[in-house]
Structure 1
Amino acid sequence: MGVSCSNLDKDDSSSEKDAPTHGARQHNGPSSSQSIMSKSVSGSQAFKPVTPRAQTRSLASSSPHWEDVQAARLMINAQHDVVNARMAPLGLGSDSRPSPPTPVDHFSSLEHYQKARNQIRTWEGALAFDYRRTQLASDKEKEANHIIQLLRQRDKAEVYGREPPRLGHDNQKHPRFPGDHFLSDVDLINRSDLYRVAKMMPKGAHLHIHFNCCLQPRFLLDVAKRQPRMFIRSDKALPPGDDLAFRQCEIQFSLLAEGEENLGDIYDPTSYTPGQDMLFTDFLERFPVEQRGDPEQWLEGKLMFSTEETYNVLQTPFGAWEKFNGRTRMMKGLFNYEEAFRLYTRAVLQDFVNDNIQYAEIRPNFMASNILKSRDGSVQGGNRRTVEIIIEEYDRFQAEKTGGYFAGLKIIYCTPRSFSNKQIEDALQECLRFKKEWPTWIAGFDLVGEEGMGRPLKHFIEELLQFRKDCDAAKVDIPFLFHCGETLEIGSDTDGNILDALLLNSKRIGHGFALARHPYIMERMKEQNICLEVCPISNEVLGLTPRINGHSMYNLLANNVHCTVSSDNGTIFRSTLSHDFYQVMVGKADMTLHGWRQLVEWSLQHSCMEDRLRAEAERRWEGLWDKFLDAVIGEFKSVLDWKPES
């Protein structure tokens, strides 16, 4: 994303009332430019307005570029206003603030050039997301950051640099490096010191995580093989010698009551009809180990993206989503019975604590067709029972946990964007009923699923506006937390979801990858205090960017768009939130600990926690952060003596 954006800070006034009226072209030449450039600037420091360089001064007033040049000058001066406004609260008086850069016709010396270069870097940095935290960094934070930057260098040399290169087309050698394809690097990442630091870091709030994809696959498979009524089915027979069938098949699980099964032998191509059921225990016992290896490892592989399918030269976002949807269908039957759901909920909460997450807003899928089964396969309940069990297991977890701080959990009511208007209306009404019954638990409402294949937000405007009226009448607040901008499409209805999310005043945006292509909407979102839930690994695996350094979040962060970091569907991507924070660091050469801190702080500030709970969580987080700094300095200080091999 090479989009140039305006960088107006959402906390600063834009002085729109002072802007000139834009109507018919006025070819007034330089005098018009001087009039525009003589605007006064906000803040306590006055500076000379931007003056034209020789090449722009030579433009005739009739030039087709003249108005563009004038507009650029207005934008630059507005950015100077923003920088002044950002510096003032940090105690940088007018005497200590750097002078703004001004265009230069020519440079008298190398020193003169370097000074101008440094000025521009300083002012551009002052517009970015991490400026405040960098300026306020304590000595301890600076020391920890120095250690982290050295760890990055050492990891690159000693973890990645010592691996043999991968062979590409015509055996071209490709050296290993941090920030390469995540699924290619994940085993190296897990060996790195920077990843250890990421795991240690208190991460604040996890705001974008789909509840059916939080843990590594082995957990639910282990529960499933203990169920006497668990069945497995395939969309094709699996003869032991058929490599293609084992690679291409889609697997599903079902816990079935007595008499519900339609039995078939998956391994017999002469008799098996796709979709027939086989006892899971029989499947495991008869699995062709000699040809296929361990059956549980094979099933784990079916649930996770592989390097080959993700980065294949012909792969597209649509193809990646096809694989993704098959995996979520496979997960569903491992998840929708009470024993597994309870165990899973407790394990997810413990996993949050283990990954140093202090608060989470989970996204279960709610549909009228949802069922939650008993051990014998009989139906026990649906959406309502799902919420009850989450609350029950959370309460037990908080009462019984022996270590780690966890501030709280909330539920974002999610339903598929592929549904009809009537189905969405019904889902909105159920969400409202749940909010009335469990007011502290329901965080907001979202529409989920493949954005390009579902209906755009504008398709449901009538239902969503009525929902807002219903919430006002009931005196409850259920913010919208829409998935949108998770697309490479440009100018389509899918791309337009960004605009509708803005108009519907979504509190946060899930993904928002496309926002960097919409500079005006981006500024409006900043003005409305809308935060993005960025999911770097998810966006890479699902085809929005080939590598982390191409992610649009860096464009957005350079424009001070508030973002949080989330894992989305960690089960399927072989990832945790620590992996996403790792990727955020290695994807940008000048990313620092101070940038990490800003992202974490925003996660708490933009959560749906009540004010009292948020204040307590922020206070506790500050203490955890200080301990984290001590741990980094104490555990990794030896890197200060490290010298790269010559």
Structure 2
Amino acid sequence: MMRKYFTYVLLCGFPLLGAQTKVDEQSAYQQKWTLLERENAAMAFDANIQLSDAELALDKKLFQVRRKFLSEAEQQKIPIYNSSFNQIKPLIENSPLFKVFQTMPKGGLLHTHSGGLASMKWVISAARKYKECYVFVQKDTKEFIYGQLAFFETGKVPQGFVSLDKKLSAQPDFEKELLGLLTLKRDNLSSYNNYWIEFEKRFTRINLLLPYRPFFKEYYKEGFQELLDDKVQHVEIRYVFDELYDFKHGKYSLETTVTDLQDIVKEIRKSDPQFSLKLIYSSFKFLDPESIEKQLEIAFTLKKKFPDMISGFDLVADEAAGHSINSFQKNWTKLKELSGKYGVQMPLFLHAGESTSVFNKNVLDISLLDNKRIGHGLNLIYFPKSMEMVKSQNKLVEVSPISNQVLGYVSDMRNHPARVMLSNGIQCSINSDDPSVYGYEGLSYDFWTAFVYWELDVKALKKLVFNSINYSSLNEKEKEKALNHLNTQWNDFIQKANSNLK
């Protein structure tokens, strides 16, 4: 009988014990997997965000809306991952997700440029109302390029320029051509083009428009209103200063630029009291250190006079063509001396790493300087120690998804470097850079792009939105007021979005 019992154990018991061992091993593996998943999530940029029940409900709804959109795109064989922004822009505009993002409060736009704000359609329409506005219609010369707009007094119009209004009246199709000359579109991701050359031509075509004081005032009022319409409450412009002028008084001082913008803000605040503006004084990377020294003196002078408007300093232009940040060492070491001389601080908000090359080492300087935020920072992920320092120093990267694609740095948005940064705890904000040059207004398109391609959730969206105020150059009192307003707007958005998405 005992022998039969042992035989039973041998035949039946050991397999059961073996099965139990396998279950235990699988359970241990799953525990390790779950722990690893949590540890990765704890490193993410939004790890400290806790969502309310209403936010969690919206998160589930947006997840389903995105999944449905992607499924339908796949069924219709729409290659959204291999298409440029310009190609899928109509698809974005017709998607339910876009309508949600249009109603979402965006907080602040921390990275945009003078000349890249107001819609180019508006620019053409507004400019033609001025009888003194002309367009260059001949082949490019050393002075002017085809499609360039400018204001001239009667009798002082250079050869090759014709009245813009008369040209458009006589040749209506020219408006579409001119709009194409003022906007930059990347139609085919695989085609080669020197996008920076084409990009800079767009600014050249309007650089004689914006200093004309009557148009200047109209332009910025329109640009700010477009942002307000897209739920942006705060704007920080990389501003390249130029003397304003009109034909009655001639040139005005640089201070006039600031006071005119202050007046525009005051006017806007009558209907939108939460709106705020800061200017980041900007010069160019292709200048030499001696020229940048002069630019810094001007920037400090303006900041001393307008401490609540001028928030910092930057260098712009194509990083591949300009000098490195490191080549301006003597300028950066002189900042402390200039701060003592003028009695104000001048934080840096430098463009760095707008590149796909490891040979561009501009991001190395960022962690060594009093640089509050980083413009673009695309190749930061190639420098792990610098990325670690940027994280520990709590510096923000200003990410501009659509700009990065149009200028050729990123093709498939799923591979955008920001995804690596966000997962590694680098704080970021979403920006539009030069939306009017890329043929759109506001910030909704960039948020749509980030949400769809980077597989974001409501927690990430909330962190990105609130980062734009928390890392802004608003002073503490202004920031507190802006955050209170944003929090109210955000909660209202969550409630309404939940109601609209059944």
TM-score by length of 1: 0.70
* RMSD value, Cα: 2.1
Work out whether residues 117 and 436 of structure 2, in 8 Å CA contact, stay in contact via their aligned partners in 1: yes
Distance 2:450 2:248 in 1: 43
1:334 aligns with 2:209: yes
Gaps spanning 5+ residues in structure 2: where? Answer: 1-21
User: SS at the partner of 1:349?
Assistant: helix
Instruction: Tell me the equivalent position of 1:285.
Output: 169
Instruction: Tell me the equivalent position of 2:254.
Output: 383
Aligned residue among 429, 446, 453 for 1:587: 453
1:345 aligns with 2:205: no
Instruction: Tell me the equivalent position of 1:222.
Output: 125
Instruction: Tell me the equivalent position of 1:141.
Output: 55
Work out whether residues 458 and 497 of structure 1, in 8 Å CA contact, stay in contact via their aligned partners in 2: yes
Instruction: Tell me the equivalent position of 1:372.
Output: 244
Aligned residue among 483, 487, 493 for 1:628: 493
Distance 1:489 1:126 in 2: 30
Distance 1:234 1:527 in 2: 53
Work out whether residues 485 and 514 of structure 1, in 8 Å CA contact, stay in contact via their aligned partners in 2: yes
Shift in Å, 1:624: 0.9
Q: Map 1:16-55; keep pairs closer than 5 Å.
A: none
Instruction: Tell me the equivalent position of 1:17.
Output: none
Aligned residue among 47, 65, 68 for 1:151: 65
Aligned residue among 381, 385, 388 for 1:516: 381
- CA distances 1:325-375 after superposition (whole Å, capped 9, x unpaired): 111111223322112211111112222221111211112212xxx34232x
- CA distances 1:449-484 after superposition (whole Å, capped 9, x unpaired): 111111111222112221332113433122100011
Summarize the Cα distance change of 1:157–1:560 in structure 2 as closer, same or farther, 3 Å threshold.
Answer: same
Distance 2:118 2:393 in 1: 34
Aligned residue among 518, 527, 549 for 2:414: 549
Match of 1:584, as an amino acid? Answer: A
Instruction: Tell me the equivalent position of 2:233.
Output: 358
Instruction: Tell me the equivalent position of 1:311.
Output: 189
Shift in Å, 1:555: 0.4
Q: Map 1:404-423; keep pairs closer than 5 Å.
A: 404=272, 406-423=274-291
Work out whether residues 373 and 398 of structure 2, in 8 Å CA contact, stay in contact via their aligned partners in 1: yes
1:198 aligns with 2:101: yes
Shift in Å, 1:162: 6.6
Distance 2:353 2:253 in 1: 31
Shift in Å, 1:178: 6.5
Work out whether residues 179 and 586 of structure 1, in 8 Å CA contact, stay in contact via their aligned partners in 2: no
Instruction: Tell me the equivalent position of 1:251.
Output: 147
Distance 1:177 1:113 in 2: 37
Aligned residue among 330, 333, 339 for 1:465: 333
Instruction: Tell me the equivalent position of 2:355.
Output: 487
Distance 2:438 2:452 in 1: 18
Summarize the Cα distance change of 1:179–1:614 in structure 2 as closer, same or farther, 3 Å threshold.
Answer: farther
After TM superposition, what 4+ stretches of structure 1 lie above 6 angstroms from structure 2? none
Match of 1:373, as an amino acid? Answer: Y
Match of 2:429, as an amino acid? Answer: T
Higher RCO (CA 8 Å, separation ≥ 6 residues)? 2
Instruction: Tell me the equivalent position of 1:69.
Output: none
Aligned residue among 582, 596, 602 for 2:467: 602
Work out whether residues 274 and 485 of structure 2, in 8 Å CA contact, stay in contact via their aligned partners in 1: no
Distance 1:113 1:498 in 2: 39
Aligned residue among 201, 215, 231 for 2:134: 231
User: SS at the partner of 2:118?
Assistant: coil
- CA distances 1:151-193 after superposition (whole Å, capped 9, x unpaired): 11232345x3575x4xxxxxxxxx3337842221111101111
Gaps spanning 5+ residues in structure 1: where? Answer: 1-105, 166-174, 238-248, 264-275, 638-646
User: SS at the partner of 1:414?
Assistant: strand
Work out whether residues 82 and 189 of structure 2, in 8 Å CA contact, stay in contact via their aligned partners in 1: no
Shift in Å, 1:113: 4.1
Instruction: Tell me the equivalent position of 1:320.
Output: 195
Work out whether residues 446 and 480 of structure 1, in 8 Å CA contact, stay in contact via their aligned partners in 2: yes
Distance 2:371 2:338 in 1: 17
Instruction: Tell me the equivalent position of 2:434.
Output: 569
Work out whether residues 303 and 327 of structure 1, in 8 Å CA contact, stay in contact via their aligned partners in 2: yes
Work out whether residues 141 and 593 of structure 1, in 8 Å CA contact, stay in contact via their aligned partners in 2: yes
Shift in Å, 1:147: 1.1
Shift in Å, 1:118: 2.8
Distance 2:387 2:74 in 1: 39
Match of 2:221, as an amino acid? Answer: R
Instruction: Tell me the equivalent position of 2:263.
Output: 392
Match of 2:444, as an amino acid? Answer: S
Match of 1:556, as an amino acid? Answer: M
Match of 2:132, as an amino acid? Answer: R
Instruction: Tell me the equivalent position of 1:453.
Output: 321
Distance 1:131 1:502 in 2: 23
Match of 2:437, as an amino acid? Answer: I
Instruction: Tell me the equivalent position of 1:29.
Output: none
Distance 1:516 1:480 in 2: 21
Shift in Å, 1:382: 5.2
Distance 1:538 1:377 in 2: 39
Distance 1:251 1:447 in 2: 27
Work out whether residues 505 and 528 of structure 1, in 8 Å CA contact, stay in contact via their aligned partners in 2: no
Shift in Å, 1:378: 6.9
Work out whether residues 221 and 334 of structure 1, in 8 Å CA contact, stay in contact via their aligned partners in 2: no
Q: Map 1:26-105; keep pairs closer than 5 Å.
A: none
Instruction: Tell me the equivalent position of 1:209.
Output: 112
User: SS at the partner of 2:328?
Assistant: helix
Distance 1:407 1:229 in 2: 32
User: SS at the partner of 1:149?
Assistant: helix
Work out whether residues 303 and 309 of structure 2, in 8 Å CA contact, stay in contact via their aligned partners in 1: yes
Work out whether residues 342 and 389 of structure 1, in 8 Å CA contact, stay in contact via their aligned partners in 2: yes
User: SS at the partner of 1:207?
Assistant: strand
